[in-house]
Amino acid sequence: MAFATRSLRHFYKIYNGSTGTVFSTLRQSLTRISVCQNVQLYNYNTEIHRPKITGSLTNIQSTVQSLSPDALDNKRIEEAEKEDAEEKERREHSNRMLKYSFTFFGVFITFGLSYIIYDLTKTRYDEQGNIIEDEYSNLPLYEKVYRRLKREFNYYTKMVQEPSRDKLLPDPLKYPYIQPPYTLVLELTDVLVHPDWTYETGWRFKKRPGVDQFLEAVAPPQFEIVVYTAEQGLTVFPILDILDPNGYIMYRLVRDTTRFVDGHHVKDLDALNRDLSKVIVVDWNSKSTKFHPENTLRIPQWSGNNDDTTLYDLAAFLKTILATNVQDVRDVLNYYKQFDDPLQVFRENQRKLLMQMEEEETRAQQESSKVLTSKWKPSFLRNR
């Protein structure tokens, strides 16, 4: 018994904070050998509610058993089902929130439209509290509401589709002031400037080559310059302030002065308060001037290239009309309307005209020299 006691030592139990390790060793009298080698250390807690050693051994055994392939597959299936259930719950929550949002939006729109209809069709009172009668006051309620609502709708439709005023320009100047003989209507976008957008700078407007020289060449009192565009005033006015510091552009007409037809903002020349036989519109978009194509000089759209010379040719074209005192510019514009690039044709015509004038001048000089030669010819040579 004493030999066994010396040979087999009792089991050691070590506690360290919240964890401990239970192991046993077998000590012999001569050498110390380990009874349990390469055994995994199992943690346990010394508190009452935590499992004891027996419970830990049971959990170890169940964990080892659960490592079988079937148990792993079942565990994966359970995790997948749990994830599906959570995903389904999230979708249901999103659908409920979407329904609540649509319901709130529908209620808000309903109350909003109801208030707008009530405000537009309600009975009006003057400052003394008396009812302001109109043509629908004696009609039944539903018909009265319908007709008043239709009247207001037509009013706002007209405000959007038609020019904001009947006369876009003031009356022509009277003596002693000088009224230019022709009215030049220019488009801003892709005629005078070109919008350009980059990630670094955002939107910028590039000035067309020759703009300064062009405006100076056709400035009043030669032409009454009007910028007429479908752009918003908040965009147009700052650009023109920089583009025309000398004030050559007399009037600026923006989107509210156009007529909205078939999805396009059309320039209404009838509302310009000017004689259309003296009005020249320079634009690249035929849809913008479809009501008055006979007054339009349609030039190619400028894409922002730096080698463009169109404005120089346009200035020469307009100066020619001014110099020849054309009575009705529509005759000239109708001729050039048939060409895709009328200014190129004008340049060619000018070149031919100059060549013809040079030939006539040369012929006239030759004839005059013949006359002088025959006049001073000796008499004995004349009798031959």
| Mean pLDDT within 260-276 | 93
| Mean pLDDT within 26-43 | 42
Q: Is the confidence at residue 13, as pLDDT, over 90?
A: no
Mean pLDDT of the chain: 81
- CA gap 32, 47 in Å, rounded: 33
- Residue 108: pLDDT band (50, 70, 90) is very high
Per-residue pLDDT, 295: 97
Q: Is the confidence at residue 28, as pLDDT, over 50?
A: no
- Residue 47: pLDDT band (50, 70, 90) is very low
Per-residue pLDDT, 243: 95
**CATH fold for domain 182-338:** Rossmann fold (3.40.50)
**DSSP character string of 217-229:** HTTTTTEEEEEE-
- Residue 134: pLDDT band (50, 70, 90) is confident
- CA gap 369, 262 in Å, rounded: 67
**How far is CA 311 from each of CA 35, 317, 337, rounded to the nearest angstrom?**
104, 10, 18
Cα angle 28, 32, 37; round to 5: 115
- Residue 140: pLDDT band (50, 70, 90) is confident
Per-residue pLDDT, 11: 39
Per-residue pLDDT, 314: 97
Which pLDDT tens digit goes with each residue over 113-128?
A: 888 888 878 888 888 8
Q: Is the confidence at residue 18, as pLDDT, over 50?
A: no
Does 39 or 316 have the greater pLDDT score? 316
Does 353 or 330 have the greater pLDDT score? 330
3-state DSSP call for residue 321?
helix
Per-residue pLDDT, 374: 59
Quote the tokens at residue 128: 């003394």
- CA gap 144, 151 in Å, rounded: 11
Most confident of 42-56, 247-261, 359-373: 247-261
Q: Which residue has the tokens 């922002």?
A: 304
Segments making up each domain of the chain, as ranges = 123-161, 182-338
- CA gap 101, 106 in Å, rounded: 8
Quote the tokens at residue 133: 């009668």
Contact 206, 193 (CB under 8 A): yes
Q: Is the confidence at residue 8, as pLDDT, over 70?
A: no
